[in-house]
Structure 1
Amino acid sequence: MPNLRRNPRPLRAREDVNRFPLSPAQHQALAALQQQLRRWNSRCNLTRLVEGDDYWVAQVQDSLWPLTRLDPPLGGPLRGVDVGTGGGIPGLVLAIALPESRWVLVDSLQHKCVAVQAMAGELGLKARVEVVCTRVEVLGRDAHYRGRFDVAVARAVAAAPVVAEYLAPLLDRRGVALLYRGRWSAADHQALQQAARKLGCGIRTRERCLLPGNRGQRHVLVLSPETACPAPYPRPVGVPTRHPLATAPLPQPPT
């Protein structure tokens, strides 16, 4: 992956992010996305992470590093869905990085969907990116989308068991869900395992990296279907967040 930082410096040993290979044209497209985010931020405040390392590391590299850890790697004419896309990240970044892929970007806020649709058009991605303004609980029960995706992703959306309930119903039986997370504990892992079992999924792997520039630790949890997602899921709008399928126990105080 070309160096995405404006002021490059060697990565320290503890900064172990893997770099996804990008062509000059893809790098230019990511720079164009940054310009589009600046433009739309002045209208509707999509994200504060648009300058320097805030964009190139905390947005772009954080979106792409999980792709370097997947086995087999993502590629070819896959169909992906980005749930809770917000300002279009990671969905637009992934669409740029995977040029044969097609994406559905989902958000429940109309002004964000309008902005993302416009940005996709300006970036020449209109033919490969569909923007849907709805709640994901509704999308997951729509036959046009349920069970249709090779990869489903969510970044900074909700607690992991909640996100699992959003993503699992959307997966094809051979698909994978990528749950982007920050910190991750044994209790978090146990809660996600409990939720995944109810959804007919298993945790394929957990990957970890440290982003450059003191941007912190990141994890990605990869879920894959073991059976068809049971018909009751996703539950009606709001229920997954109010009543998660599992919750991580609170740390116990020292005795």
Structure 2
Amino acid sequence: MDDPAGFAPVETLEQVLEESRRLGFLGPGPLTPQIDHARGFASTRERTPDSFLDLGSGGGLPGLVLALEWPKARAVLLDAMHRRTEFLRAACARLGFGDRVEVICARAEDAGRDPALRGRFEVVTARSFGPPAVTAECGVGFLRAGGALIVSEPPADDPDRWPAAGLGELGLAVDRPATAEHRFVMLGLRGPAPSRYPRRVGVPGKRPLWA
């Protein structure tokens, strides 16, 4: 893919992701389906967002792919592991993102209360971050009112994964459910995120808002 904005071709992205896999940050299996899956996050939006944060960016999926798919968006790739964020910084340099993409090493619970990040993003993405309640609570603080949390869903349907009452506690609601053909759920933030969320580090997992 030759990007008109001057970003790297897909071959370079694949080289970066091969390195990620060699380091143990991505699982086995062909890269092309994983890249295509990452692009699926972009298909949930009718237009390019002005900003997004990738929650638990890990080995670079979907964050690196979305930074290419959304070349005008300001992005933050967030992960709590130093080795992964060092890799992501090098990957962003290799892909030519410049200062448009920032990599931050921090726990989501802490970062979600940082004034520099709280309520700043149109979109938050999450791929294999954690259980639904943990993902929603850790992601909501980054969203501005009207923003969307987009989560990759497992193959099997479970109508209880995103209960209205639990989401409502966070100010979220399902805007677009996952379907058999489109395994992403989009959760919209109805107003500013409640100030009490996210709770301190570890609490969302130990005492989830729903099971």
1:154 partnered with 2:129? no
- Which of 124, 132, 147 aligns to 1:175? It is 147
Q: For residues 182-229 of structure 1, what are the alpha-carbon distances to aligned partners after superposition, in whole Å with 9 as ceiling and x for unaligned?
A: 133112233xx232100111111113244xxxxxxx621111111221
- Which of 117, 136, 161 aligns to 1:145? It is 117
Q: What is the CA–CA distance in structure 2 between the aligned matches of 1:91 and 1:40, rounded to whole Å?
A: 13
Q: What is the CA–CA distance in structure 2 between the aligned matches of 1:229 and 1:28, rounded to whole Å?
A: 36
Q: What is the CA–CA distance in structure 1 between the aligned matches of 2:69 and 2:160, rounded to whole Å?
A: 33
1:55 partnered with 2:28? no
- Residues 206-245 of structure 1: matches in 2 within 5 Å? 206-210=177-181, 219-245=183-209
Q: Is the 2:79–2:106 contact (alpha carbons within 8 Å) kept by the matching residues of 1?
A: yes
Q: How much identity, in percent, do the aligned residues show?
A: 28
* Structure 1 unaligned blocks of 5 or more: 1-22, 211-217, 248-255
Secondary structure of 1:184's partner?
Answer: coil
- Which of 58, 63, 79 aligns to 1:91? It is 63
> TM-score, normalising length from structure 2?
0.91
Distance 1:96 1:209, change over 3 A: farther
Distance 1:95 1:151, change over 3 A: same
Q: Is the 1:204–1:222 contact (alpha carbons within 8 Å) kept by the matching residues of 2?
A: yes
Q: Which residue of 2 aligns with 1:194?
A: 165
Q: What is the CA–CA distance in structure 1 between the aligned matches of 2:160 and 2:178, rounded to whole Å?
A: 16
Q: For residues 95-140 of structure 1, what are the alpha-carbon distances to aligned partners after superposition, in whole Å with 9 as ceiling and x for unaligned?
A: 0011101110000000000001101100101321100000000000
Shift of 1:40: 4.4
Q: What is the CA–CA distance in structure 1 between the aligned matches of 2:18 and 2:136, rounded to whole Å?
A: 31
- The size of the alignment, in residue pairs, is 208
> What residue identity is the alignment partner of 1:227?
G
Secondary structure of 2:210's partner?
Answer: coil
Q: Which residue of 2 aligns with 1:185?
A: 158
Q: What root-mean-square deviation, in Å, do the aligned CA atoms of Structure 1 and Structure 2 show?
A: 1.9
Q: What is the CA–CA distance in structure 2 between the aligned matches of 1:119 and 1:145, rounded to whole Å?
A: 22
Secondary structure of 1:241's partner?
Answer: helix
Q: For residues 165-184 of structure 1, what are the alpha-carbon distances to aligned partners after superposition, in whole Å with 9 as ceiling and x for unaligned?
A: 01111111121110111133
Secondary structure of 2:35's partner?
Answer: helix
Q: Which residue of 2 aligns with 1:32?
A: 12
Q: Is the 1:33–1:123 contact (alpha carbons within 8 Å) kept by the matching residues of 2?
A: yes
Q: What is the CA–CA distance in structure 1 between the aligned matches of 2:44 and 2:149, rounded to whole Å?
A: 14
* Structure 2 unaligned blocks of 5 or more: none
Q: What is the CA–CA distance in structure 2 between the aligned matches of 1:161 and 1:61, rounded to whole Å?
A: 26
Query: Which structure has the larger Rg?
Result: 1
Q: Which residue of 2 aligns with 1:204?
A: 175
Shift of 1:67: 2.7
Q: Which residue of 2 aligns with 1:64?
A: 39
Q: What is the CA–CA distance in structure 2 between the aligned matches of 1:149 and 1:179, rounded to whole Å?
A: 15
Distance 1:231 1:69, change over 3 A: closer
- Which of 57, 75, 80 aligns to 2:48? It is 75
